[in-house]
Amino acid sequence: MKNNKVSYYLQKFSILIVLIVMFIACSLLSPYFLKANNLMNIARQLCVGILIAYGEMILIVSGFLDLSVGSVLALAGVMAVSAYKSTGSMPVAILAALAVGVLCNLFNAFFVGNFNVPAFIATLGMQQVARGIALYYTGGANILQLGKFVNIGQGMLGVLPIPVIIVIIITVIVWYLFNQTRYGRSLYAIGGNRKAAEASGINSLKSIYISYAINGLLAGMAGVIFMARNNAGLPNGAVGYEMTGLTAVIVGGTSFTGGVGTVMGTIAGAFIIGFLENIMNLIGVNSYIQSVIEGMIIVLAVAFDIRSKNKKSSKVIMVSDDGEEKKTP
């Protein structure tokens, strides 16, 4: 039993250990890494990725995912920029982005939930659709001269960048959802065994809609910050960002098979990826090679997750044909 406990805590905090080791390694590799300027830069850069990661985490924990988030983010961002340019109102711009994000994701939820289209396929379709609309709407051209819109991505409030403050607030909300609400608990159950959750009176269809809607809100907000940081409405922006989000979530210990994952883990995962990208830039790793390394990391993280799960379950229960369950010696 004691052994169990040690490995339990090791597993629970292993991600934080990795993060700390990474941090120390980075500070040794480059003297510039620990500079306040650089750390602030990492935080800024991570904002969009973390928002995407939260959305992916909500979906992956409950057994789904979203491949459309990069495109939806671009579409929402472009719409926000365009709304801002015609009204001059920041609240209207943000509302427009959120509405577009939610709308796209209601379609995702509709096909995934009501028609049981695999999330992979449904959101892959939405990836094309949203990108197409963004490009069509702008005629493929970037929208420039955003004026005060850029504040939400580049401005400071006291000592902290505004996007960082936004992300901190959203982090608290997401943590609250996962840990203090029935909805959060249901996500774990649906991801762990959807049929059992339904047979226990949990409305999984409702959860699917809520999850995609939240994912849409996050994508919308990320879109606003992304465009503001770039000082342009980029219909071609954020390509492949779903991968960045997924990598952070998986590295952060969320199980791709559903039912397992924590907000802390996802934050840690995002920082690990952020540190890695930053240090590779600082020590001058070729950007193509960076891509190779990141691709390898996601596969290894999943392989590791599956390996540790197999070890656990194969030890415990064997089921014979007659439905007998016995602990193997």
Partner 1 sequence: MEEIKLRVSGIEKSFPGVKALNNINFAVRKGTVHALCGENGAGKSTLMKVLTGLYKADKGQIFIDEKPVEIKNPIQAREYGISMIAQELNYVSELSVEENLFMGRLPVNRFGGVDWKKVRREAKKFLEEEKLSYDPAQKLKTLTVSDIQMLEIIKAVTNNAQVVLMDEPTSSISQAEVKRLFEKIAELKAKGVSIIYISHKMDEVFQIADDITVIRDGEVVSTDRVEDLDIQTVIARMVGRPLENVYPKEFLPLGDVVFEVENFNAKNLFGDISFHAKKGEIVGFAGLVGAGRTELMRAVFGLDPKDSGTVRINGKETVIRSPEEAIRKGLIMLSEDRKEYGLVPVRSVMENASLASLKRYFYGGTNHRKKEHSEVSDIFRKMDVKTPTLDTQISSLSGGNAQKVLLARWMLCEPDIMILDEPTRGIDVGAKFEIYKLMTDIVREGKTIIMVSSELPELIGMCDRIYVMCQGKITGCLNRDEFSQEAIMMRATGLLGTKREGKRDEK
Among residues 86, 114, 181, 291, the one that binds partner 1 under rule CB under 8 A: 181
Report the C-alpha gap between 1 and 23 in whole angstroms.
33
Among residues 69, 94, 104, 189, the one that binds partner 1 under rule CB under 8 A: 189
Which listed range, 62-70, 102-110, 264-272, 321-329, lies at the site for partner 1 (CB under 8 A)? 321-329
Could you tell me how far CA 221 lies from the centroid of its own chain?
Answer: 13
Which listed range, 67-75, 88-96, 130-138, 310-318, lies at the site for partner 1 (CB under 8 A)? 310-318
Which burial class, exposed, middle or buried, applies to 159 when counting CB atoms under 10 A from its CB (0-12, 13-18, 19+)? exposed
The answer to the question of residue 94 lying near partner 1 (CB under 8 A) is: no
State the minimum distance, in angstroms, from the CB of residue 9 to partner 1: 11
State the minimum distance, in angstroms, from the CB of residue 202 to partner 1: 7
The answer to the question of residue 59 lying near partner 1 (CB under 8 A) is: no
Residues 232-261 that bind partner 1 (CB under 8 A): 255, 258-260
Site mask for partner 1 (CB under 8 A), range 150-179, x = bound: -----------------------------x
Could you tell me how far CA 171 lies from the centroid of its own chain?
Answer: 12
The answer to the question of residue 208 lying near partner 1 (CB under 8 A) is: no
Q: In sequence order, what are the beta bridge partners of 165?
A: none
Place of tokens 């671009």: 74
Q: How many residues of this chain interact with partner 1, rule: CB under 8 A?
A: 41
Among residues 3, 4, 37, 116, the one that binds partner 1 under rule CB under 8 A: 4
Among residues 200, 287, 291, 308, the one that binds partner 1 under rule CB under 8 A: 200
Which listed range, 41-49, 136-144, 186-194, 292-300, lies at the site for partner 1 (CB under 8 A)? 186-194
The answer to the question of residue 311 lying near partner 1 (CB under 8 A) is: no
**Strands 156-157 vs 160-161: parallel, antiparallel or unpaired:** antiparallel
Among residues 192, 239, 256, 302, the one that binds partner 1 under rule CB under 8 A: 192
Residues 196-226 as b or e (16 or more Cβ within 10 Å = b): ebeeeebebeebbbbbbbbbbbbbbbbbbbb
Q: Are 77 and 224 in contact (CB under 8 A)?
A: yes
**Helical axes 241-251 vs 263-282, angle rounded to 10°:** 120
Residues 183-192 as b or e (16 or more Cβ within 10 Å = b): bbebbbbbbb
DSSP state of 160: E
Binding site for partner 1 (CB under 8 A): 1, 4, 8, 179-182, 185-186, 188-189, 192-193, 195-203, 255, 258-260, 312-313, 316-328
